[in-house]
Structure 1
Amino acid sequence: MQQLIEFSTNHLILVLALLAVGGLLVHNLLQGNKGAVDPTGATVMINHQDAVVLDVRPAADFHKGHIINAINIPMNGFANQLGSLEKHKDQPVIVSCRSGAQSAGACQTLRKAGFEQAFNLRGGILAWQSANLPITRKK
């Protein structure tokens, strides 16, 4: 025990870094998947809860293939276009992007704007396609 105290006082920065990383890991475990849904869960929400799918990829990527009936609002200028989603505020909104990273940020923006049921599609459109779920293309 004495050695642990001595090490901690001699290497304060390392100990603080360890505590910070540990705290972040615990936070991620507790909050990490809150508000996220996998492709199977998303299909259940779409079919049974009338969920709206919002795709935040650039328009060119959206036109190459997207979830059927998805609404495309690209991330650049996303916050300025939230007004067009007001009519869906009381519905579940599933946000997708290519891999799930950008859509997580969009979900946070939606929640701050009062969309309590904003869900990130875990793995994005890549996970959707890997699950062999249907996509459509704009012509």
Structure 2
Amino acid sequence: MAFITEQWLLVSILGVLAAALIFVESRKGGAALSHHEVTRLVNSDQAVVVDVREAKEFSTGHIVDAINIPFAKLADRHTELNKHREKTLIVADKMGQHAGAAGKILKDKGFTVSRLQGGMSEWQGQNLPVVK
């Protein structure tokens, strides 16, 4: 505690740098979209949902017309998404833990990517429709 009070300037700089790093890293996976924005984009045929959960979780409930490519296989199977290259890919996972990393993989492959804010748990928490 004494270090923090004596070196408050260094601690402040560290805090600002940590916040900047978090901000930059979160943007690499695409912007986070609310369920309202996702619904609007999908309904207007401007976006496709890519669900990166495992097949077992996907089968318990997913967004209509979502494409399931598990996160562990995304780097190998990204070519399946080439027919949707002109659309925004919206990455959905369980709670947002893999969406950023999956979005970065897809962005590096040349896709336009966004993330479903809160993942499928938020989608289902809002009582939005899912297909089983």
Which residue does 1:119 correspond to in 2?
114
Question: Is 1:91 equivalent to 2:87 in the alignment?
Answer: yes
Between 1:38-47 and 1:19-28, the stretch displaced more is 19-28
Relative to structure 1, is the Cα distance of residues 131 and 102 closer, same or farther in structure 2, using a 3 angstrom cutoff?
same
Q: Distance in 1 between matches of 2:24 and 2:107?
A: 18
Bigger Rg over Cα? 1
Aligned-pair distance for 1:31? 7.2
Residues 41-100 of structure 1, C-alpha deviations (whole Å, 9 max, x = no match): 100111124310100000000001101110000011210101111111110111100001
Using the size of structure 1 for normalisation, the TM-score is 0.80
Aligned residues: 125
Aligned-pair distance for 1:103? 1.2
Q: Distance in 2 between matches of 1:56 and 1:48?
A: 22
Any idea what SS the aligned residue of 1:77 has? Answer: helix
Counterpart code for 1:21 = G
Aligned-pair distance for 1:32? 4.3
Using the size of structure 2 for normalisation, the TM-score is 0.84
Q: Distance in 1 between matches of 2:104 and 2:121?
A: 21
Which residue does 2:3 correspond to in 1?
none
Higher relative contact order (CA 8 A, sep 6+): 2
Aligned residues with identical type, % of pairs? 31
- Runs (5+) with no aligned partner, structure 2: 1-5
Which residue does 1:20 correspond to in 2?
14
Which residue does 2:68 correspond to in 1?
72
Which residue does 2:101 correspond to in 1?
105
Q: Distance in 1 between matches of 2:101 and 2:24?
A: 18
Which residue does 1:63 correspond to in 2?
59
Any idea what SS the aligned residue of 1:76 has? Answer: helix
Residues 99-139 of structure 1, C-alpha deviations (whole Å, 9 max, x = no match): 01201111111111101x211101000111112210010xx
Q: Distance in 2 between matches of 1:95 and 1:128?
A: 13
Q: Alignment RMSD, CA only?
A: 2.2
Q: Of the candidates 32, 35, 40, which is equivalent to residue 36 of structure 1?
A: 32
- Runs (5+) with no aligned partner, structure 1: 1-6
Between 1:21-30 and 1:90-99, the stretch displaced more is 21-30
Counterpart code for 2:32 = A
Q: Is the 8 A contact 1:49 1:92 kept in 2?
A: no
Counterpart code for 1:105 = A
